[in-house]
Structure formats: C-alpha cells, structure tokens
Amino acid sequence: MPLPLPPPELPCGPLTLRAITDDDWRLEQQLSRCAEVVRWTSYPADLSEVEARSRVARQQERARQGATQRYAIWEDDVAHGTCGLGSLGQAVPEAMYALLPTARGRGIATACVKALLDWAAGHDRPAVTIVTVDGNAASAAVARRAGFDLWQTVEGDHRGRSATLHRWRWLADPRASAPA
C-alpha cells in the first residue's frame, strides 16, 4: 500500500502552505538571489526566469510522482518562502524550508515545520528528519524549536564540497523505536 501524500494545501495558523504553482517562479527566483538561502540550501544562485520556471516544473513533477511536496508559504497576499517534505516514498520523509530575509526571526519556519509534522503524525509517518549544514545556527534552532533532536553528524556533500551535516530526527511517538 503506497504511503499517503500531503495535500495541496495545509493550514498553519495565520499562514497558508500552498503547493507550488506555475506562478511561484518569482518566489523561486527571489530565494535564489538571497545569499543565506543559497549558502545553506540546495537553491541554485541567481536563477533566471526560465530557470526558475523550470525549477517549479520539476518540483510539480516530483509532487505528481509522490517524491516531494513543496509549498509556498503565504500570509495574506505575501509570500515568505517555501517549505515541504521530501523522500515521501520512504517511511521517514525529510522536512525542508527556506525563507526570504523579511520573514526571518518571526517563528514562520518553526510554525511551518510543525504543520508538516502534524500532517506526518496523522499519516503513517513515524519520524521526520531535517538535515542542516554545520554553522547554520538559525536552521538548527528551527529544528530544536520544532521538537527535533540531533541524531547524527556525518561528513557529506553540500554544494559540491565536503561538509559536516547534522541530521535531526523528530519522532511521532518518542517512546517508540524509530526507523533508521
């Protein structure tokens, strides 16, 4: 039986998490022009309109395939960034998030991650992970505030270079043993 996939829209307090649409290419472009997003995530730097539209199309295709569900984070008519769950074909998905500078420091990333966890807890997902790059204190703080524990520290690849990566894990039932 296939694992359930997140819906196209998730409530998140005053925010709305809406699956990425064709119109979100501008948001993708904005995020690619933010130095901190590019530094700490897999966002390519300085996407053109064509590249941003292509990135959106790839994300939509990955959602149709059941691999990833990414959301644009909206508050009224203002987009603040993106978040989502990857590795949806596995029992333990990975949460991700990236915010524009104007949205940082307001608890938005933490609220979005908690909304993703609420969905996961109700849909046969015993755990969720987050991967942060060593030195990204803001992202590590989001993971801690959302209820994740540091689980592993490994050497891995980040943007084509060796980096220390921190794997955080949240358990739907902290008393249960979690899948690896």
**Taking Cα atoms as reference points, which of 143, 12, 31 lies closest to residue 98?**
31
CA distance 94 to 110: 15
User: In a 3-state reduction of DSSP, which class is residue 170?
Assistant: strand
The pLDDT assigned to 156 comes to 96
Question: pLDDT averaged over consecutive 10-residue blocks of the chain (180 residues)?
Answer: 81 95 97 97 96 97 94 96 94 95 96 96 91 97 97 95 96 72
The pLDDT assigned to 4 comes to 79
What does pTM read for this prediction? 0.93
The pLDDT assigned to 174 comes to 77
Which sign does the torsion angle of CA 58, 5, 118, 146 carry?
negative
Kind of pairing between the strands at 161-171 and 127-133 = antiparallel
Domains of the chain as residue ranges with CATH: 9-171 (3.40.630.30)
The pLDDT assigned to 179 comes to 57
Distances (CA, A) of 29 to 48, 55, 66, 100, 154: 7, 10, 24, 11, 30
